[in-house]
Structure formats: structure tokens, C-alpha cells
Structure 1
Amino acid sequence: MSALRVVPVHRHGRARLYVSLPDGRSAAWYDRDSGRVSLLMEEFREAVLQALAPFVTGEVTVGPPPVPTSADLARLTLHPDDDLAPNRPGEALLGELDGHGPPRRFRQDPRRALLAAQERVGAGLDALEGAGWRVLHSVPLPGGGVLDHLAIGPAGVLTFRTVAADRRRVRIADPLVGVGRSAPSPVLRWVRRDAERVALGLVVGVRGVLVVSDASRVDVAVPPPRDVRVLRDSEVGGLGRAGGVLKPADVEGLYWRARDRRTWLRT
């Protein structure tokens, strides 16, 4: 028979090689992370292994596809309208701004600066996928609330609230956060509330993170907040070096629960 075709595919943070017959039917796939070859057609075992030989490193396990986990079943039954994974950073702000026409000529809409900040932080979080993190953006919460970002990875579950400094000085004195000459707001209280709501929805420990974007200076009063982490947007990438809390299987299970809109209805 003609040579089998091997196609690399990256889906949901996993790198796989799919092997198909000349007529287009799938014969197997090779999961690089687990080192497993899942055979869909046992009669093509030798041909599949021969086709994968140039791509396989180390020992592999060969057998039928594994039994789906609860996370797999949740993914398969999740309706597209309930799937939050496609949400972009600042999704809620994008909807608001699109409905208000072009920006005002003489005065910049502060929501545009916040949108740029959320997009900047979101890009930094998305870059952590290679380090085992799963990220959601603009998670809608009951009562009209929106969670800027939610990250689930080796270092645990983190919620993110963004402050757009727009090259101004930021002053943090728990629970108040002031930007430039504007009156301070109890932002750290909101960060804690976000973490509490996510902990209720996922039934897991959650830590809140305040990210200051594009600040000329960040001053944190002593003592600093103990239960909220404060980061500049340039420091988000450092989360990829943290770990020791969640295993990969736990990360995937929590992620599939978090991306279901229905999970947040009781928070």
C-alpha cells in the first residue's frame, strides 16, 4: 500500500502526530507528552510504527485509545455557546467600545487604555502555555462582573485584575490603589473577591494577582498585601518558572471546568 501520511497537530496545549491512510481515514495518533501511540486500526500496527519511526524518541506505549476521562467527556459535551475558551483579552471592553463608535477627539476614553492593558497582560499569559499553563480571558460572572484573566498551571489557580497606569505612578496601600492624581479605589478588595468567587466555582484554592500595566513607578506601602500578589505586566512571564502545586492532569481537569460558562452561575 502507499505510504501513510503523518500530520503534526497542536490542540489544547498538546502536540500530537496523526497518522492517516491514503484514503484519508485516521489510523492512529502519537501523543508526544505521554509517549503513547493510540491505534484506531490494529491491522495497520506495523505500518503506523514504521511511519512514526522518524518522529518518535525513546520508548512508546502502543495500544487502543485510552478511556476518556471526565474532563474529556466534559469537553465533548460542552456546547459552543457555553465555551469560554474563545474569549479574547478584553472581550467585554471590546463589545462596549464597538457600540460607542469612534473614540472622542479631545479626550481619550479610559476604557481604551484598560483594553490595551488587558491585551498586553493576556498576551503574556498566553505565552505561558508551553510551560503547562491554561488561560481564560474575560470570564463573565453573575451580576455583570467580568474576570480579566484566569490562569491554571503548575503554580496553582490565579485570578488577574489589571490596572492601566498609562505611564503614571501607581500607589498601593492595602486595600487602596491610586493611579496618578486620581482618587484611590479599593482595588485589592476586588482582587480578593475575584479569587473567592473562583474558589467557590472550582472548589480549589485560588490566589489573586494585581497586574500593573505600563506604570512609570509602582510604590507598595509596608507591609505589602500578603494574600495578593502584585506584578508589573513585564513580570507575568516569570510565572512560567513557578510550580509545585498542580499536576498536569489536575490542570486539565480544572481548565475544562473553568471554561464552561455554567460553572460560574453559582458564584
Structure 2
Amino acid sequence: MTKRRIAKIRYEQELERLQRELVKLQEWVKQEGLKVCILFEGRDAAGKGGSIKRIAERTNPRIVRIVALDKPTDREKTQWYFQRYVAQLPAAGEIVLFDRSWYNRAGVERVMGFCTDDEYWEFLRSCPDFERMLIRSDIILLKFWFSVNDDEQERRFQSRIDDPSKRWKLSPMDLESRARWVDYSRAKDQMFATTDTKASPWWVVNADDKRKARLNCIQHILSTIAYEDLTSARLELPGRQADTYVRPPLDEQTYVKDYYS
């Protein structure tokens, strides 16, 4: 039986409420000097980017930072695999949202042959230890896997193909992932078998309904990290200086044309 999708008006109301809570969370993270690292992984077109966008939408970009790394440079390919990700980890008072992460090695690199077998198995051996090191360093680590069924992914791919404003979302790698659905499934299963640990579990988000996925993901973050409301005190605007300022003539400035007059 197909689960009922959430109504748009209810979704928007709940999203607004949750985004207000995210602002409270960010202020608590800043005051307490917490270090929060959240990974977003999953199928292409599963809705990771949309969820990240809604999390960051009303927050302070100086506190909540999105990291979406491009493919490694020739120099980065010679570094310790985790090195370029370590440089992006949060300092005190920061929340970092990884739009894909070091798990690229367990997914796209494995399936597409961008790493050797030895590099792949070494990643699976070392990743749990790496994450335990992060946690011992007082980093709050959350890992989300966005799960979408085959038919829904196909529908979203088709929607992007049909809409010129969305075609940029479909890279050649995305199209190839569609052709290699089974290979990606096996890679995901192996990744979970090795890296879904008690210290750092994978939290699976059912993403067949994008709206529900966003709300559930945000609610989980809020329920996982204890915080207090530091935003309740009303601010008072200071008085302005005495009005001795004379504005230069308006015709001396160059204005953007009013296209909608």
C-alpha cells in the first residue's frame, strides 16, 4: 500500500516551525562551542540537496556551512584519502553539512573504478577508526542515507530531463548511476556492513516523499543534539545619530533600470 504524501500546506507550516528550531540550535552551537558534522549520502535524485538547502535556508552561513567538494585535483589524489575532508571539518561553534563526503570512495569511486581494490578495502578498514577519532575529538557526527525506490528515482530523472531549468542537476555520472543501479546497491550494502557502527550509525531517510524526507531529517537532527533557546530575548534598536547627513543628488548615481514599472 502506497503511503500518503504530506499535504503542501502542512509541509510548509511544519518546515517553518522546524527552521525556527534550527536557528535556536545554531545559536546554542555557537555559544557552547559545539562541533557538528552532518553527512548526506544516498542515491542520485534522492533529495539530499533539497534537504541540505532547507536546513541552511534560514541559518547563519558563518555558523552553518555547506561543503560540496569537486573531484580531487592531481595533488589531492596523492594525499592521504581523508586529508581534503579533514580540512573542511567544523571548528568550535560550527555546523558543517557535507553534500557527499568521504563515502565517495565506497560508492561512486568503487562502482566507476576510480579507485583500486586495495584503496577501496583500505577505506572500509580505516573509515570506522577515522570516525571514532572524530567522535573522541568531540565532533558530533551524524550520517544520513537518503533511500529512494527505483520507480521514484526514474520519475525524478525524467522530470529533470523534461525541465530545462533542472537539467544541470543531471551530470554524466548521474546518468551512469541509473544504468548501474545494481552495482550501487551492492556497494551500499557493503558500505553499511562495514561502517554502520554503534559509535557512528547510518540513519536511513525514506526519501520517496521529498517533503517528508526533509521534515524527518531536520526533526532527527533537532532530537539528537540537545539545545536551549537563546533567541527569546527581544532586541532593542538603538537610536540614530542626529540628522545632519545630506544625501548626494540622485542623478549623480547610476541606477538599475526598473524593468517592471
TM-score (norm 1): 0.29
More helix by share: 2
Q: RCO greater where, 1 or 2, for CA within 8 Å and sep 6 or more?
A: 2
TM-score (norm 2): 0.29
More strand by share: 1
